[in-house]
Structures are given as structure tokens and as C-alpha cells.
Structure 1
Amino acid sequence: MAAPKSLKGHLLLDSGQLSGSFFARTVILICQHDEDGAFGLVLNRPTGTRVGDALVADLPEFLKEQPLYLGGPVQPTAMSFLHSDLYLPDANVMPNLSLGHSLDELMELGESFSATKRIKLFAGYSGWAPGQLEDELRRKAWLTHPASLDLVFAEDTSTLWARILRQKGWRYQLLAQIPDDPTLN
């Protein structure tokens, strides 16, 4: 059996089949995907709190003011972050984008100056056991889309799911326009 194609560095979008679940209308960046399973972060679920209100650490002001996102339903107290800059030679998700989990690394990033640095912080994550994501893809629960730094760090996350669906073309226009509550249609 051929090894599954890795979706690392791609986005997963709710295909419209996940309404009523945590993953309804989510956009997830797949950060790791191999024979051991998959790890991703939901890009469009802000918690409504700032990092400084949720993380008990002496963080630089720049980091304290960042919005905190809910990366997924698994381990909601686990912290992850995505960071980007113009040139990251050791990027581990896609070109110029890295995933981190270490508070020390986050502090170092927060204290270093770069006008082009971007950071997005998450509580929790989305995870799949070996073969689980592939099975969900076969059942057409997810759509895939190439990730870009602009999409990962989009400021208006409330419309991110619909915006990406519209980018995918005419076949997804109707799905992008369906209201959260279909009875309002």
C-alpha cells in the first residue's frame, strides 16, 4: 500500500458535513501529517481573550496583546504557536512558517525585533490517529486547499472559511453562502 500523501502545509475546510460539531465551518492548518497521524490548528476560532489574560508568564507586551485562538478540542491547556518571518531557514510547516510549543522559544521570539515577524497563538489542537484523517477525507468531511501565510495570519477570521470556499471556485459558492442556521434561509 502506498504511503498517504502528506497534507502538511495545507488547509482543511469543513465540507458542510460537520454542522453541529466543533469543526463546523473551521479552517485547519495541518502542521504534521505522517504514518503516526496528523496534527493541526484551527485558524478561525478566536477565544475572545488575549494571550496575556490566559498565559501566566512574564511575556513581552507584544505577545500579551495577541488574540488567543482555540486550536482544537484536544488538550485545551496545551499551548502552540505559529510564527513567520521573511526568512526562516528552519521552517517546519511550510516555507517561512514554523510551529512551536516551547514557552522559552516563544519568549525569545517575543523579545527579538523584526518588523516582518508574525505570531499566532493557540490553546489546544486538532489531532487524528493514524488513518483517521484519510478516512474522513474519503467520506468527504473535509475539503483541502493550499495554505499561504496570508491565510494563516488573516486578521478577519470570521469570514475565513467562506472566503477560501469562494477562492475554490463556482462549485463552492453556494456552500460559502449558507447561513449558520439554515432555518434563517
Structure 2
Amino acid sequence: MPKKNAPLELKPGMLLVSEPFLEDPSFHRSVVLLCEHSSSHSFGLVLNQRQEIVLDSYMDEKVMEDVPLYSGGPVDPTIMQFIHRRPDLIPDGIEIGEGIFWSGDFERAIELVVGGEIGFEEIKFFIGYSGWGAGQLDREVKSNAWMLHPAKAEYVFDEPTMNLWRKVLFDKGGDYRVLSTYPDDPNLN
């Protein structure tokens, strides 16, 4: 693993970037947006695992058939959450990074999507989440399972999901740029 330039701290608004050969299939080449981190637990949403299903699979409204869903992680796929960058339109969200808001008034968010007032470059819906118990995520970071990088709204909302893992590592610079080029199958190297 590349040496870390400056220590980054685990806190809401950080990205967890999986190391290239992480064996857990739930997190293969994933980028997780950390939403909460405390001494008792950590919680985040995988940003780059878009699902084949759409939001109308979970809701009665057929108008939601074009709304993409992302897998937030392997924990409790019955829970739906969202992140957005429109606090001016969606009240009660929690700012977890500059221009990145988690949750808020769900009914209002749905109204805005249905009415075409918010586009998919401004909001993402997730089923499930990524969770860690007390100290677990700290240990995983120390063992180099995850690399940390500050989240930017551009990563969260604008970067195509298939490019996100590579883009974040490339932007970290240095030896991380080399990691960003690793093929999925190391035998192809």
C-alpha cells in the first residue's frame, strides 16, 4: 500500500476507498461516503454500486420508474436513504461534507423528483447501508483495507459510478495513481 502523506481522520464527509483486492464482494472497488462515525459505530453509503432496479420497485408510484437506486451496502436492504445537494429545497438534511447533505424531508424529496424540480445529478437514493461496530472501521483503516479521501460534491453527484473508484485514487496522487490503474484481475497485470 502507498504511504499516506498526511493522516486523515475518520469523520462524516470522508470517502472510504477500498483497496484494489479487498476480498469482500460487497465492497469490491467501492467508494463509501461516511455519514456517521463515533466510538460506538460507523455508518456510510456505497456511492458506486448502482442497482438494476429502480425506485418504483420500492414505491407504489409508477412515476418513479426512472429513478435509479444504489446499494448503500450489505446491511438491511429494506432501509431507504438519500443524499442530495439541495438544502434550499429539501429541509432537515444533515450536511456531512461541503455541498453534500444526508437525509431530510423524504416526502418533499420525492415530490421534487416527481415534479422534475430536482435531477439525478442533485440527489441519489440508496437501499441498505454499510455499518461497522465500535472500533471496527478504525481497525480496517489501520489494516489498509480502506484509504481515506475527503468527499467532494463532484465525486458524489457528477462522476460516473463506473469511474469513481479510479478517479478518487487518481486524484489522491502519488502512488495512489498507480493503484488506480490496477486491473480487476491481477493476472492481467
TM-score range, shorter chain: 0.7 to 0.9
Larger displacement relative to structure 2 (101-110 or 38-47): 101-110
Structure 1, unaligned runs of 5 or more: none
Please give the secondary structure, in 1, of the residue aligned with 2:12.
Answer: coil
Provide the rounded CA distance (Å) in 1 between the counterparts of 2:50 and 2:91. 29
The correspondence of residues 32-111 of structure 1 with structure 2, limited to 5 A, is 32-52=36-56, 54-58=57-61, 61=63, 63-85=64-86, 87=88, 90-92=92-94, 93-100=96-103, 103-110=106-113
The residue identity in structure 2 corresponding to 1:180 is: D
Larger displacement relative to structure 2 (25-34 or 150-159): 150-159
Give yes or no for contact 2:87–2:93 (8 Å, CA) kept in 1: no
Give the % identical residues: 37
Measured after TM superposition, the shift of residue 149 of structure 1 is: 0.9
Q: TM-score, normalised by structure 1?
A: 0.83
* 1:6–1:168 CA distance, 2 compared to 1 (3 A): closer
Q: Residues 12-53 of structure 1, C-alpha deviation per residue, up to 9 Å, x if partnerless?
A: 00123513532121000001111221110000001122222x
Give yes or no for contact 2:93–2:103 (8 Å, CA) kept in 1: no
Size of the alignment, in residue pairs? Answer: 178
Structure 2, unaligned runs of 5 or more: 1-8
Aligned position for 1:170: 174
Please give the secondary structure, in 2, of the residue aligned with 1:29.
Answer: strand
RMSD: 2.5
